[in-house]
Structure 1
Amino acid sequence: MSDNEMILDGEKVTGITLKDGHIPNMTDGNYKVTVKQTVTLPPEVKQQSDIKLDTPGFTVRGPRFSLDPSMVHAVHPAVGATGDFSLQFPHIVISRDVLPWERQPITGTPRVPWVALMIFAQDELRADPATGDSATSRKVSDLASSASDAMVPGYTDVDVPTALKNSMCVTIDARSDAFTAIVPHRSELPFLAHVREIGPRSGREAYAVVMASRLPKKEGRYEAHLISLEALGAYLDGKKPDKAYVRLLSLHRWSFTAKNDVRHGFDVLARNLVRNNTNNARELSLSLSSEGVTNARVKDRLTAGYVPVSHLTQTGEQSFAWYRGPFTPVIPPEPSDKKKCYITADDALIYIADDGVFDVSYSAAFTWGRLLALADSDLAAPVLKARRTVLRHMLTLSSVLADLEATTPVPPADNDSGSDVQENDFTEELAAHLTRQIQGNTPYHQFGELVEAGLATRLKTSLTTPTPTETRLSSPARKGDITGRDLASTIQRPDVQEAFRRALRIPPYGPADTNVALTDTPSNTGLLDGWAWDTPSLLSLLPRDVFLPHAALVPPESLRLFHINPHWITALVDGITSVGISTNLDQQAAKLIRDAIAHQDAGKITGIILRSQLITQWPGFHFQAFRQANYQQPCPVIRRDLIAPDTLLLLLDGSPRIVELVEPTHEVTLGLDSNNTCTPRLKTGTKVTSKSVKAEMRDTVHNVVNIAKMRDTFTTSDLGWSTQNPITPSGFALQMMHPPCRAVVKQQ
């Protein structure tokens, strides 16, 4: 199809294009490059012998006897799934979109796929008596080895490269009657494969989809095999093998179980997920259940996202404490000492006097930060470098203040009229002096200052003046110089602190723009270049148990919303910047460095933790979140991490009111409606509800659909096709497609 947008059952599906196939410009094989040159010489020039030119050769070789598992993007039904698949055509999605058309199974015929997806019931394959496995690994050179009761494909006539003869492949032995019933006919092959292009036109991803023609209606275990049809051309028109079994080359395989009373699929799992989370704030919050808890204070703690943890006090007493990680179901209040920079983990302990226990949340955050910095030199290096930079500028503060106080009135100690104006002027002047010191502290700027101060004249004088026999160096103290004893206290002055922030471009004086989306906001200032200090990057350093301390916070088949506690992130950063602190000046520098790290984004970030089979069976599902109930103002996904096989963590820019889970477009199911019927569609995807097409079976015992007859039924003028313009493989896929399922969770 050429359209990039279609309507499936009233549902607008964007960013998808169906194509008949992708035939490569060069198929597998050996090629030679021939160059011919003709030179015409005048008659008087003696003719030379022909110039011999090289004919270099090269080989085009794609997958043939095995398929890299990474090329398999998805399968349906999912691996190990159990459910009712009686109306669904199993299919496989391959990321190498040219694969089904890279080879030609039948010489001299129009190009058809050389692979087919075949579904076998458990008793239709010969199993190893010892292991019960139906698949056998063997060398490619052994494919043509004869078997007493199995028909072996004629690979002897196929040009198998020597380099591949010792490679391994997988074969199965299928019962001849089952093989004859299930193997696609020559006329059906083109309609059992198509290409789906997904995404915007500027950056599409293409996938090959190969579907089976058998419906797994009977209950039991099935095996799906992507079979190579090479050397099987004689059996694609219904010819029966003359032996009990047929040996087939399997490129990929998986199994599933059909059980007619069990609903299964993206729609079932997604709707159950929404049903389990009843859309109220309590069910969606990241907290332990407080059902049955009678103590009001304990209930409040659980509701706020805390979990009880074991705690060993400094005196050796075994007790318990409350802990809450960086993810919280409520917006946390600001701590009373929010401006304090923690130097030790004990500084961050919070004693709950009413209960006689500790809140260890911020203490644990500090400890984790310190451990991360001690364990990773790449994380600690920019912090230590920044501290040296700040300390160097602090040590120049004495001369800066002396120069400034000589020309600028110092603000009075009391708060009389006009003192605020004087203090602002003094702070601005101090910041300007520090800025010149800091930004000019490069060899280029230092050399420029020396030249302006008369470097050339002094050098000439020095070289022409005799050296005195004795030189006495002196450094008299200037009025207003700060002694080392008073430097730490001077640094703590509010005006000096603000001046340092302005000079070092520390937020709010840095370049960060809070109105810009988090994905576009600079993560740090030049002071701490060398590491990504934004909240998502810091969280990525932590193990899962830090932010999910109890499994019951996210039970199976659940979705939980949370905020990020910026004060927890601050304590984490305090732990990182605490490495190597030994003096009061180090502490002051650490506080400035902590403030320079742009973790202010934590207050804007929210998140979702999803635990469901959707993640294991549909890992590529689409996720959307919106700030408004009318699907306006989307919340961009900042980070998407798989923190467990069935658990997904999503960090968002903004607080969502609506969360939407959408089935991946490239994995939408193919199948029939009830009673083996199909409501046909126009080329645009719109259903023609006045018509119904019944799927006839080519083999009723094995429930194999007659694809060729269904194709002819769809070739009617009222659907947009005709005998002169018959339905194409992509058009047939459109008839079989089910619209992608959407599940919506709304936060009241």
Structure 2
Amino acid sequence: MAEDTSQKKELDDWQDFIVVAPRYKLPNGSVHSVYPPQGHTENVEILPHVVLNDPQLPWARRVVNNIDPKDRNRVPWLAMLIFRQEELRYPKATQQGNTLAVTLTLGALGDLVTASDSDCTSPVVKSDGSTYDDDSKDLEADFIFVPKNIFDVLFKDDEKEETQTLCDVSRYQWLAHTRNINTIGMANSGIDGEEGVFSVVISQRAGPLDITEPTDLVVHLVSIEHVSGMPYPAPKDRVTLCSLESWSYTCLPPDSFNVYDAFRNIGRKIDGKHDVLRIDLTQFGKSLSGKQLPDRLRDRLVDGFVMTKYRTQTGEETAAWVRGPLVPTLVNHGDVETCISHTGTDLQIMDRETGIMDITYSVAWQLGKALALADQGYTTALGRLRLTISRAATDETKKSILKAHGSFQGQHETLCQLAESMKTLRTLQDATSLSHGRDARWLPSSFVSVDMPRWSSCVQQHFRGHVARETERLTVSASDDYVYNEFNTPLSPDWMIVLSWILDRIYLAGVPAHYYIPDPSYLPQESLRFFHIDRYWIDALVDGALSVSSHLRNDDDIRRELKKMINKYLQQKPEGLHYPPQRPGYGFLLRSELCVKFPDLIVEAYARNKDEPDPTIIVRQENIAEGVLLVMFDKKPGSDFFGKLILREPPHQQAFCCGESLKPTYLEVLYKKIYTIPLEEQAKRSNRTSPVETLKHYPEGGDDKGGYEGPIFTWAENETNVHALRLPAYVQQIHNVLGEELKEDYTETEPTATLLGIQLNHPMLYLEIQMEPSLFTTSDQNSADDGMLAGLRMLRSPASPLPKAWDNRPEDQLIFSYSAPVDWNAPFVAWAEESPGRQENAQGHDFFLPAPHLRRLALTDRAPITITKPLKGDPRDGEVGVESRIENLLMAYSIYSLADPSVKDKLTRKNFKQDLIFSSRRNPDNDNWILKQITISFPYGQPDRGRATLMDFYDGPGATMVTDFRFNVAPTLSKNTEDKLVFHLTIAPRAGSIVMRNLTNLSLILSGVMLADYTKWSFDRGDPAVEVNIQEIFVDRNPQTAKFYLPLNI
């Protein structure tokens, strides 16, 4: 059937669109980067430019009306201009900014232009002072006042032979273009995706050539809208242009430092290899003035430590060793589990050779806790998670213990026995079943204790098991059997928050930068320093972060199980992946002007003998401060998986330059090979990076190879220093050279702004660094250790467990009751039942291992205490006691153990170390005496021949004041006249002396005391009693001395 065309109608319609574009100010966030950066230095060949996030912004407004649709280059409304500061100073301006811009309203600018004595004109307003498009006169903008001679040069048509009457803006069509770049490996631009589209506006002017010292230049991104309608030359001395963005930089004299030298400087090797993050010992040695650095101090500095001011718990200021998580040597993490910490102080390590405390891991623990407390979301989530686990585990513990004794039945057991229960109920009315008579019900029956304390071994054993099961239940995914790994669905949203927060800390996110670099000398200017991440430091950081939100005094079980699940996450391979989650183990810090000039500096890591970069090696790349770049790897440098590192300039943050070298007499240009053929065909061409031609162009025209083309660069014109590109002659020269040399490989018929942009690109320099296997040294050469965090090791119970309340009842009487409910909310204090430091000796008795890294007591010379009057308590008088209250002592003394705080008449030897309290309380007399020192002395060493000693060795943490911290206590050893060792506890005020009326209690605690072994004691002489001597020294008074005997229960 034929189509009926008579019914067809042609519809014609149109609609206007209004495109709103900025005019007097750029929108916030429009500028991605500028080059050179604010306040930095650059060479004279560099052409400043700005990178805009909006790829269409330079062409958002129309500058020239007669636009040819076939024209491939459109004139932008933005232009980049640079000036010396003296060129923009305007005498009539009341105030100019740092970049010599003046803030005015459009109305004020119109009044200035139309004033009778006006010396300026402007394209921003009309000649009568009115605004374009009815813009409000109250709009404010920044303006610069350009001198007439410079303005005329910048808007002159160099190709026009006849007289020019209007300003020409056609040259600026070559100075703006759009770029689509790959942003992989960039710290800033790579955030939003793998590709980015940016617009670039370039300046036509280079730096001045007549300077002999660094000179400040100002750069302005100006609007050239309506400039094409202005008369040429400018009718007045100044032309006012609207400035949309401005900054300043310093131009260096010719032949100064450049990017090439910066790359070479940071890539240099020291002693055949790249340097690591530590102090420069050569510079440190210069400060010693010829003195030799002690070996131990040198070793500490080589290991990355630095000395810092440290205040002890008792208030004294001293020095301590400290280092951050980034270390210069490989620290072996090992497989041995270490202890959880309650406060972080037990993570301090005493350097026995220098006598200085190492507080590195204690600082990490405290930082982890501080970061956790500062994050309300994390702390709240961890608190809810702990509470959920604790409640569920407590309920299950109750059920399991009571069910074992037959006093609890679950729902299933109750239903199963319901029939039997009904039979029992029917027999209750039968009085013959009462075997004990009617009154027997009122008689009390025997029962055991109702207590079921949390710290008992039975409850703790069940509680630990249920905590482990409940923690595992809450941390697995709701969608599969894997631990929640950020790819599956979490069962507990609180665990999702906690795990994410801990993983960020493993990446050292949120850690202040001064922890990375404990001393500025570690990372000097223009330096590259590699490091290894100390896994013990990460372990301590995480332990401190998990220590918050505890609901029980001994909440170690929940913390331990949470760590085990974190370890399980780190070790499991998610479904569909053949490797476990990545975590950093190595990295480098780069401090250089390159990081400021190129905030998106590209970092590429290569496996050994591979030509393509492996993006999985780099796990963190961040500019942590201005001019400091932090990069972390998950592969060991120098291994087969990581053999090479390359730093290269980002393509959109490269500098633009007028040529390879700009001199007062010539401009040297390296013409690049710019292909128009497909990429696969370009790969077949040889020497693609070498220039196709190198020419020196002269001011009057021509080149060093006999060419007679016109000038392509303007050095000066009409006694005005221009030093600007001559357009379009420059871009036409590029087009001609490429057409002659590349032939079929370059098929463009017309030059474009993109062609000029590629040619003006500063050569894309890069630094290649070969990774040596010997970069990191270690005392434990374990080839199987790759340096990565395999898991958290702080899983054992604390080395210093909290004490439990004393109870003399046997263990079997502390559990279970039929006659009373269990109070599960009762407060308690308990020793950890299975301390990691506890072992059994040959006789089957358990004992605690001594704390590590403790200094031995120094043996000093001390005169023996002379006894003037014996105290009561001499065993020869038949009175043995610990109390001392006599006239010649101003303090009352007693000694007891925290293990038996109620027993103050003797000490009992136990199979573990005890903390002894030496109580000293002021008597009410002699308030005006001034105390200088109190010394408590007793025999030390092996008991022999009736000489009783309190302890035969001491390796505890020392003595501290219990209440009055205005005093210091120091333990020392000395020998008496019989060449026997005597242990002294000396109490002295920090102020040197103190009046007695200001004292109340001077008690001290001596921790970690193992009473002496009396297996060889001759008990025919009676039970041992230790002679304790006390001496009180006062100002301007005789010392008061006494002694008593402290009995021991062996």
TM (norm. structure 1) is: 0.73
Match of 2:277 among 267, 277, 285: 285
Q: Please give the alpha-carbon distance, in whole angstroms, between the structure 2 residues aligned to 1:650 and 1:284.
A: 14
Shift of the 650–163 alpha-carbon distance from structure 1 to 2, 3 Å rule, reads farther
Shift of the 155–546 alpha-carbon distance from structure 1 to 2, 3 Å rule, reads same
Matched letter for residue 528 of structure 1: W
Aligned length: 631
Where does residue 48 of structure 2 map in the other structure? 90
Q: Please give the alpha-carbon distance, in whole angstroms, between the structure 1 residues aligned to 2:416 and 2:258.
A: 83
Contact persistence 2:30–2:52 (CA under 8 A): yes
Q: How does 1:184-583 map to 2 (within 5 A)?
A: 185-199=168-182, 203-218=194-209, 219=211, 220-235=215-230, 239-261=232-254, 263-275=256-268, 278=270, 283-287=275-279, 289=281, 291-292=284-285, 294-334=293-333, 338-395=337-394, 396-397=396-397, 399-400=399-400, 484=454, 485-487=456-458, 489-490=460-461, 511=482, 528-531=495-498, 532-537=500-505, 539-581=508-550, 583=552
Match of 2:121 among 151, 162, 186: 151
Q: Which of these two proteins has the greater Rg computed from alpha carbons?
A: 2
Q: Please give the alpha-carbon distance, in whole angstroms, between the structure 2 residues aligned to 1:93 and 1:103.
A: 18
User: Which stretch of the first structure deviates more once superposed, 351-360 or 336-345?
Assistant: 336-345
* 1:116 corresponds to 2:79: yes
Matched letter for residue 371 of structure 1: A
Shift of the 520–268 alpha-carbon distance from structure 1 to 2, 3 Å rule, reads farther
Deviation at 1:278, TM superposition (A): 3.8
Deviation at 1:240, TM superposition (A): 0.5
* 1:104 corresponds to 2:74: no
Deviation at 1:732, TM superposition (A): 2.5
Where does residue 13 of structure 1 map in the other structure? none
Matched letter for residue 208 of structure 1: S
Contact persistence 1:82–1:264 (CA under 8 A): no
Contact persistence 1:138–1:170 (CA under 8 A): yes
Root-mean-square deviation (Å): 4.4
Contact persistence 1:535–1:602 (CA under 8 A): no
Matched letter for residue 703 of structure 1: H
Higher helix share: 1
* 1:681 corresponds to 2:681: no
Match of 1:624 among 590, 604, 619: 604
Q: Secondary structure at the match of 1:188?
A: helix
1:84-134 CA-partner distances (Å, limit 9, x unpaired):
223x33322222211111111222334421222122233332335766653
Q: Please give the alpha-carbon distance, in whole angstroms, between the structure 1 residues aligned to 2:397 and 2:236.
A: 95
* 1:64 corresponds to 2:23: yes
Q: Please give the alpha-carbon distance, in whole angstroms, between the structure 1 residues aligned to 2:460 and 2:197.
A: 65
Shift of the 321–336 alpha-carbon distance from structure 1 to 2, 3 Å rule, reads farther
1:669-706 CA-partner distances (Å, limit 9, x unpaired):
33313342432534259566357484523563412322
Contact persistence 2:83–2:218 (CA under 8 A): yes
Deviation at 1:569, TM superposition (A): 1.8
Contact persistence 2:595–2:628 (CA under 8 A): yes
* 1:142 corresponds to 2:166: no
Shift of the 116–498 alpha-carbon distance from structure 1 to 2, 3 Å rule, reads closer
Q: Secondary structure at the match of 1:70?
A: coil
Contact persistence 1:127–1:135 (CA under 8 A): no
Match of 1:644 among 618, 622, 625: 625
* 1:737 corresponds to 2:761: yes
Give unmatched runs, 5+ long, in structure 1. 1-39, 41-54, 407-448
Contact persistence 1:193–1:208 (CA under 8 A): yes
Q: Please give the alpha-carbon distance, in whole angstroms, between the structure 1 residues aligned to 2:489 and 2:378.
A: 18
Shift of the 144–379 alpha-carbon distance from structure 1 to 2, 3 Å rule, reads same
Where does residue 726 of structure 2 map in the other structure? 706
Deviation at 1:500, TM superposition (A): 7.5
Q: Please give the alpha-carbon distance, in whole angstroms, between the structure 2 residues aligned to 1:559 and 1:94.
A: 30
Q: Secondary structure at the match of 1:155?
A: coil
Shift of the 183–620 alpha-carbon distance from structure 1 to 2, 3 Å rule, reads farther
Deviation at 1:740, TM superposition (A): 1.6
Shift of the 287–496 alpha-carbon distance from structure 1 to 2, 3 Å rule, reads farther
Larger relative contact order (Cα-Cα within 8 Å, sequence gap ≥ 6) = 1
Matched letter for residue 224 of structure 2: L
Where does residue 803 of structure 2 map in the other structure? none
Give unmatched runs, 5+ long, in structure 2. 1-6, 8-13, 69-73, 157-167, 185-192, 286-291, 430-440, 442-446, 571-580, 638-642, 677-681, 683-687, 698-710, 773-1050
Shift of the 103–556 alpha-carbon distance from structure 1 to 2, 3 Å rule, reads same
Q: Please give the alpha-carbon distance, in whole angstroms, between the structure 1 residues aligned to 2:316 and 2:558.
A: 36
Deviation at 1:317, TM superposition (A): 3.6
Q: Please give the alpha-carbon distance, in whole angstroms, between the structure 2 residues aligned to 1:251 and 1:153.
A: 15
Deviation at 1:150, TM superposition (A): 1.2
Matched letter for residue 251 of structure 2: A
Contact persistence 1:143–1:153 (CA under 8 A): no
Q: Secondary structure at the match of 1:624?
A: strand
Q: Please give the alpha-carbon distance, in whole angstroms, between the structure 2 residues aligned to 1:284 and 1:723.
A: 51
Deviation at 1:288, TM superposition (A): 5.6
Deviation at 1:608, TM superposition (A): 1.9
User: Which stretch of the first structure deviates more once superposed, 179-188 or 622-631?
Assistant: 622-631
Shift of the 141–568 alpha-carbon distance from structure 1 to 2, 3 Å rule, reads same
Matched letter for residue 504 of structure 2: P
* 1:591 corresponds to 2:607: no
Q: Please give the alpha-carbon distance, in whole angstroms, between the structure 2 residues aligned to 1:207 and 1:92.
A: 10
Where does residue 659 of structure 1 map in the other structure? 645
Q: Secondary structure at the match of 1:255?
A: strand
Q: How does 1:591-610 map to 2 (within 5 A)?
A: 591-598=560-567, 604-610=584-590
Contact persistence 1:352–1:359 (CA under 8 A): yes
Q: Secondary structure at the match of 1:354?
A: coil
Matched letter for residue 742 of structure 1: Y
TM (norm. structure 2) is: 0.53
Q: Secondary structure at the match of 2:275?
A: helix
Q: Please give the alpha-carbon distance, in whole angstroms, between the structure 2 residues aligned to 1:323 and 1:521.
A: 40
Q: Secondary structure at the match of 1:285?
A: coil
Deviation at 1:154, TM superposition (A): 6.0
Deviation at 1:324, TM superposition (A): 1.7
Q: Please give the alpha-carbon distance, in whole angstroms, between the structure 1 residues aligned to 2:346 and 2:770.
A: 40
Contact persistence 2:474–2:495 (CA under 8 A): no
Deviation at 1:272, TM superposition (A): 2.2
Contact persistence 2:389–2:471 (CA under 8 A): no
Q: Please give the alpha-carbon distance, in whole angstroms, between the structure 1 residues aligned to 2:667 and 2:33.
A: 25
Contact persistence 1:366–1:573 (CA under 8 A): yes
Matched letter for residue 634 of structure 2: D
Percent of paired sites with the same residue: 24
